[in-house]
């Protein structure tokens, strides 16, 4: 996860590559779901680009996670069980 830096601002980290791999989803598939170019997904994963707020919310909706579980100003530690539980709970509600 490469951080993006803009001027004096703090870097932004994301879990995009990891979650995409967990879901066995290609960049093109994710790009189609969030209505951007696959190159945009690649730039986000490399840390070359900040997502807009709208794009961040669309990406989070695909994975069923809150924004703070996907994007951070601090490097991520491994995902806690509570984040996975929340994702599981939400996916069960949508499947019902």
Q: State how far the alpha carbon of 32 is from the alpha carbons of 25, 29, 36, 46, 74, in Å.
A: 11, 5, 6, 19, 28
CA distance 64 to 87: 6
Question: 82-92, pLDDT tens digit by residue?
Answer: 555 555 555 55
Q: Among 3-7, 14-18, 20-24, which is the least confidently predicted range?
A: 3-7
E runs forming strands in 1-96: 13-14, 71-72
Write the DSSP symbol of residue 73.
S
Rounded mean pLDDT, 5-34: 87
| CATH annotation of 13-95 | 1.10.260.40
Question: 24-80, pLDDT tens digit by residue?
Answer: 999 999 999 999 999 999 999 998 888 999 999 999 999 999 999 999 888 877 655
Task: Tell me which H or E stretch contains 21.
Answer: helix 16-22
């Amino acid at each position: 996860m490469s951080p993006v830096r803009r001027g004096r601002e703090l870097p932004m980290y994301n879990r995009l590559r990891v979650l995409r791999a967990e879901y066995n989803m290609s960049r093109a598939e994710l790009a189609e779901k969030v209505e951007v170019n696959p190159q945009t997904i690649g730039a986000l994963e490399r840390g070359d680009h900040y997502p807009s707020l709208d794009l961040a919310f669309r990406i989070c909706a695909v994975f069923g996670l809150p924004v703070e579980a996907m994007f951070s100003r601090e490097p991520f530690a491994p995902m806690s069980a509570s984040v996975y539980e929340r994702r599981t709970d939400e996916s069960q509600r949508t499947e019902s």
